[in-house]
Structure 1
Amino acid sequence: MTTFADLGLPQRLVHVLQNQGITEPFPIQRAAIPDALAGKDVLGRGPTGSGKTYTFGLPMLARLAGAGASTPAHPRGLILAPTRELATQIYQRLEEPAATLGLRVLAVVGGVNINHHIRSLARPVDVLVATPGRAQDLVNQHKLHLDAVQITALDEADQMADMGFLPQVRKLLRLTPASGQRLLFSATLDGDVNKLVEQFLHDPVVHSTAPVRAAVDSMSHHLFFVGDRPARNEVVLRIAARQGKTIMFMRTKHGVDRQVKKLRRAGINAYPLHGDKGQGARTRAIEGFADGSVPVLVATDIAARGIDIADVSLVVHVDPPAEHKAYLHRAGRTARGGAAGTVVTLAMDEQRKEVATLIKKAGVTATEHDISERDNPAGAPALKEVTGARKPNGPALPPPGQVAPQKPKNAAKSSNSQRRRPSAKGARRRRR
């Protein structure tokens, strides 16, 4: 068995991984870490959840630990990620191993007061994890300088392309020394990503560990034909009431908010996640979902590539995605780290053709269940068997983050006594 020590990582990093219960490298880690440690540019393709954060993060930390010291506002390592959630996740993964080597990691993302980031950059930062927009804002204010960056990593480069961030990414990369090491990781390496590679990477070593498919051995795919919209809405309620962590995907922010309201009215503790939510709300949703106190997360595709949370046993496409890549990345939120997981797509009558084409393009074999002709599709045995669906039975919940108002126990008594209490005018009449 290949170990992390065999790959050339410092023993202190190996000990941190062992304390986290991580002893055997993933395939992409076995392939790419030695080349990254050797200072080569690396171009890596691997499925989501394949261990890419440690693949670029650990070699970056190891190399920087033996290469001088950082100064305020001039990081020596730069990691760019497309979403706040992914950037925060990378920071959380690297913070402990960095501290072991005496290095400081800082995350700067949109949605947080920029003055907080400015104050944080006033101290030396070794590795900066950033979303492109916030990094550019800090550069524009002359609070961040990239001239000392020795190693740059781009994570989920294809999503950055899909989200329109590549012009910003190019602008930031031009501010880093041309001789610096570049590590680029992506689920796909085509289109605009390939142009980025040609422009900024120097004779990269290419490591591709898997095709972009959702054919994880421990992941099963199911397609439920549910009939009309009211029937689908009832099916969603039943699925959301199941036990276990569930991510439900909608196409629009409005759809997410509307769905969360429905679920919470039915007593299901669901939280929303989309780009219009403030950073505090997004953090509460992710943390609650991670620790299990929030069993249902309803999200737009922003979450499909930015969340790595264990024990997500079910992903539900309430709204089928617009294209097959989104299907694969949504599906990749379950069956992580070898765990089992289920992916369910709900299709109304008018969506049958669209969904069939989508699943075919995704290269997925899905078991079909037509429950649309039943009087009550939500009560179909197949739905319960596949998802654990059940009737919700809890009291209605207030909006996320709010506490339900509680009626004082003596409210009724107090109210009655007030009605019986004589007025001052009445008391004077009786005294007369």
Structure 2
Amino acid sequence: MSFNSLGLSDALLKAVSKKGYTIPSPIQQKAIPPILEGKDVLASAQTGTGKTAGFTLPILQTLSQGKHLSHRPIRALILTPTRELAAQILANIKEYGEFLDIRSAVIFGGVNQKPQVAQLRQGVDILVATPGRLIDLQNQGLLTLSKVEILVLDEADRMLDMGFLRDIERILKVLPAKRQNLMFSATFSKDIKKLAMGILHKPVQVEATPENTTVDAITQKVYPVAKEKKTELIIKLITEGNWQQILVFTRTKQGANKLCEAMISAGIKAAAIHGNKGQGARTKALAGFKNGSLTALVATDIAARGLDIPLLPHVINFELPNIPEDYVHRIGRTGRAGANGEAISLFSPDETTFLRDIEKLIGMKLPIENIAGFEPDPKASTQPIKQGQGRQQRNSTPRQPKTDNSNRSSNNSFGPRRTNDRRSN
């Protein structure tokens, strides 16, 4: 199947061809036709499957064929959990919409809102937003969502993990009742299915890969290692293997900083990226990682969401995630666009429960390899780490959403928001 057979316009086909694509990915083949037909869609798609084009291409086509209003109200709203993902989606929209008269913009927290507001005032057809900044600008009367025709919830599972359910519910209340709804998620948990039931109308369900499985192009392996020797082992692997472009996951921000400092001391060019880092520092670190001036990027799960790094060869789990679905998200950063990738997990005895949960989720036993001199004590405790050291378990009570900026007046359609009810997304 080619892109020509999906019913896309000549302007979009020209943009797709310019990017060098000729054959749509499975999720694009399955999602684009029903979206063009105006149907609601619930899609299961892992990172690296081409899902962003799976919804941006048909949205661009639908809006370009509709009526063009001089004041350009927001007609398509794409909600994402993180700044990085929001910026990446906007970049895709601009690339694919190069030959169309469509205006798009992105808004997210952590940066000055004035440039974002200025762009909104010029008129925007497609708005990509994180929930917090969207609500804040709506509360200030700086944007309206009354003309939205298409709503997209991207990385819906991650938005629930991050506690954005209340924000999503507030946003839904001010959207037109009649609209097309698209939901994309790497996993279909009970919470996701419940959310979908309340938003989607007779949705077409599509999957790029079987639910909660890992990409075939990724070689996965586990190295048992004493907890106190993890840093030494990861430095050994990177330096002796002469690896380039390694994305490393830690469970905490403090752990990311500590590991990054150790790598730099060992002569490895590294940077940490997490929620405590300012947007400027995060953008600089990602740019350095992409252009090769940095060898390793050490990240927490939330900060790494939405990172678009083509042909990333290595992902290392310095610590296993305590939410098994996060393992799927993490390793999905490699093995993209048909390329092979390697995912390595450094496994200490206290992570035994996490490993079992991951294997149960993905339906396979991960191959284990021992490295002489780094093996853990066979008598070491297999008791899980304390919950305070990692993100909460999925079955615990969802955290309340936190968004950005200062407290705003409660005289608005979203209702009051407490001063401490904020996340810088």
Question: TM-score scaled to structure 1, two decimals?
Answer: 0.82
Contact 1:82 1:156 (8 Å CA) reproduced: yes
For 1:70 and 1:135, the matched residues in 2 are separated by 22
Structure 2 unpaired stretches of 5+: 376-425
Which whole-Å deviations, capped at 9, do the CAs of 1:147-183 have from their partners, x for residues lacking one?
Answer: 0111111111111111111211121122111111111
Q: 1:37 to 1:210 in 2, by over 3 A?
A: same
Contact 1:221 1:365 (8 Å CA) reproduced: no
Contact 1:214 1:331 (8 Å CA) reproduced: no
Q: 1:323 to 1:107 in 2, by over 3 A?
A: same
For 2:169 and 2:70, the matched residues in 1 are separated by 24
SS at match of 1:306: coil
Report the residue type matching 1:254 in the other structure. Q
Query: Higher helix proportion, which one?
Result: 1
Asked if 1:239 is matched to 2:244, the reply is no
Match of 2:362 in 1: 362
Match of 1:333 in 2: 333
Q: 1:364 to 1:301 in 2, by over 3 A?
A: farther
Report the residue type matching 1:132 in the other structure. P
- Structure with the bigger RCO (C-alpha within 8 Å, sep 6+) is 2
Displacement of 1:70: 4.9
Report the residue type matching 2:115 in the other structure. H
Match of 1:269 in 2: 269
Contact 1:42 1:206 (8 Å CA) reproduced: yes
Displacement of 1:195: 2.5
Q: Please, which moves more after superposition, 240-249 or 130-139? A: 240-249
Which whole-Å deviations, capped at 9, do the CAs of 1:286-340 have from their partners, x for residues lacking one?
Answer: 2222222222110000145312211211111111111210111101111011111
Displacement of 1:112: 1.3
For 1:225 and 1:161, the matched residues in 2 are separated by 32
For 2:31 and 2:367, the matched residues in 1 are separated by 36
Which whole-Å deviations, capped at 9, do the CAs of 1:215-266 have from their partners, x for residues lacking one?
Answer: 422211111112240x222112123433221011000011111111111122
SS at match of 2:98: helix
Asked if 1:193 is matched to 2:192, the reply is yes
Match of 1:159 in 2: 158
1:284-299 mapped onto 2 (5 Å cutoff): 284-299=284-299
For 2:122 and 2:56, the matched residues in 1 are separated by 21
Report the residue type matching 2:230 in the other structure. R
Displacement of 1:85: 0.9
SS at match of 2:106: strand
Asked if 1:43 is matched to 2:54, the reply is no
Contact 1:91 1:106 (8 Å CA) reproduced: yes
Q: 1:262 to 1:71 in 2, by over 3 A?
A: farther
Displacement of 1:5: 1.8
Displacement of 1:358: 3.3
Q: 1:116 to 1:71 in 2, by over 3 A?
A: farther
Q: 1:198 to 1:217 in 2, by over 3 A?
A: closer
Displacement of 1:357: 4.3
SS at match of 2:315: strand
Match of 1:306 in 2: 306
% identical aligned pairs: 40
Report the residue type matching 1:238 in the other structure. K
1:119-134 mapped onto 2 (5 Å cutoff): 119-134=118-133
Which whole-Å deviations, capped at 9, do the CAs of 1:256-284 have from their partners, x for residues lacking one?
Answer: 11111111122211111111111111111
Question: TM-score scaled to structure 2, two decimals?
Answer: 0.84
Asked if 1:65 is matched to 2:64, the reply is yes
The structure having more radius of gyration, on CA atoms, is 1
Asked if 1:140 is matched to 2:139, the reply is yes
For 1:144 and 1:175, the matched residues in 2 are separated by 12
Match of 1:254 in 2: 254
